Structure 1
Amino acid sequence: MDHDSTFDAVLFDFSGTLFDDTSVLDPDAIAASGADLGGLTATEVVRSVLAHVDSPASLEARRGCDLSQEAHRAVWTRLIAESGPFAPDVVDAVYAALTDPAAWTPYPDTAVVLKALHDRGVRIGVLSNIGWDIRPALADAGVLDLLDAVVLSCEHGLEKPDPALFALACQEMGTPPGRTLYIGDDPVKDGAAVRAGLPVYLLPTERAVNRERGLGAVLRLASA
């Protein structure tokens, strides 16, 4: 890497930054599971689940759920069950859809930008608060082999905004925090990277399905 450039590495958030998080729960996948939906359509099940899990009380209940795979499953299956209430087979079908790597779609500019950074010799990492292994989703998108580090909260018992997790990611990439640009979309969780010494670029909260995320700005920042 040319040390006259601004950054040696770029570290990305996963959900809402590289991959679309607005259409993960696919009603078709839930319908195809064979679960007894109790007379509801799969679309109605998804609508009920989303309304409940995104409520203020549920958001509070989700605190710490990404610290381990066991915690993630326990918290999310309980919230899914409450949202109906739904029977265990429906809960399992919804949770399977939520954590299915194939359900997570990269933004159209994700692979393009990661490949461009890789071709420039910039080290690349992904850091995510998540309760399951996202590497298969990254592989399906053709970007896993471009990455120097994949750091998941559930594998380290740490989650953003803890500065220790950002520091750990820099350590795994082998780059100093001050020369590692962090890209995310959450002002609180992702913005906390500054507490670990990383410069931060936050993407707008608003995003649309099948639309570029605006990651091209990263290429301009990384080569400023």
Structure 2
Amino acid sequence: MFSGVLFDFSGTLFDDRSVLDPARAAVGDEVITGVLAHVDSPEGIAARQGCDVSRERHRAVWTALIAESGTYSGTVVDAIYHALTDPSAWRPYPDTARVVTALHDRGTRVGVVSNIGWDIRPALADAGVLDLLDTVVLSCEHGLEKPDPALFTLACDKLGLPPASVLYVGDDPLKDGAAVRVGMPVYLLPTERSADRDRGLDAVLRLA
């Protein structure tokens, strides 16, 4: 039995594969396809290392990558970046609110720890879970990124619980799995996911 649960945000509670909607960004499908291909390329992934330690760095890195992916005006680059960071573009998985609510109702302390370069609290509020959370720890607000153990320690401190009593739930073996380095049990979700299907979060209720 755990006294607390900390969740990752992107790919764990909220879908991360349908955020850059061409209609929302007011650009064509081919533009979004090109942008995603570039940011997810080995070079793009390398460029994104450390980009979530501040809002300024996140914007600088992502707009540079977007601009590099095609011959786009500054207006188009800004529109795509805005779509990426628009809280209303992020959709919770169908089981997100149900599981967070159940944990809260049990008296389990619940929080979110995210590598992110913008404030996700409006997205959490739209999903109806912000008021159920005891803490929201964002990398861009603390100058720390997972897998840095200090970020997990900080989140546990904010819950007021020792790491061994807090279950960490994520989807990235490297970044989220690093929670074990501070003594936290970790539950990793499978890679395969869809915005329209439960993420498998009900397993957390059995574990916790």
- Listed as ranges, the matches of 1:52-91 within 5 Å are 52-91=38-77
Distance 2:134 2:161 in 1: 11
Given the alignment of the two structures, is residue 150 of structure 1 paired with residue 145 of structure 2, yes or no? no
> Counterpart of 1:60 in 2: which secondary structure?
helix
Aligned residues: 208
1:138 and 1:211 map into 2 onto residues whose CA distance is 18
Query: For structure 1, which segment, 203-212 or 140-149, has the greater mean C-alpha deviation from structure 2 after superposition?
Result: 203-212
Partner of 2:198: 212
1:88-167 matches, cutoff 5 A: 88-167=74-153
1:80-112 deviation per Cα after TM superposition (whole angstroms, max 9, x unaligned): 000012110000000000000000000000000
| Equivalent position amino acid for 1:100 in 2 | D
- Mind listing any 5+ residue stretches in structure 1 that lack a counterpart? 1-5, 32-40
Q: Provide the secondary structure at the position in 2 that maps to 1:181.
A: strand
Question: TM-score, structure 1 length as denominator?
Answer: 0.92
The 8 Å contact of residues 92 and 195 in structure 2, kept in 1 or not, is answered as no
Tell me, which stretches of 5 or more residues in structure 2 are unaligned? none
Task: Please state how far the C-alpha of 1:209 moved relative to its aligned partner.
Answer: 2.4
Aligned counterparts of 1:182 and 1:190: Cα–Cα separation in 2: 8
Letter in 2 for 1:9: G
The reply on whether 1:198 has 2:193 as its aligned counterpart is no
Aligned residue for 1:90, secondary structure, equals: helix
Equivalent residue of 1:78, what SS? Answer: helix
Tell me the percent identity. 74
Shift of 1:218: 0.1
Matches of 1:18 and 1:162 in 2, distance apart? 21
In the other structure, the counterpart of 1:35 is: none
TM-score scaled by length of structure 2: 0.99
Runs of 4+ in 1 over 2 A off after TM superposition: none
Between Structure 1 and Structure 2, whose CA radius of gyration is higher? Answer: 1
Task: Note the aligned Cα RMSD (angstroms).
Answer: 0.6
1:24 corresponds in structure 2 to: 19
Shift of 1:54: 0.4
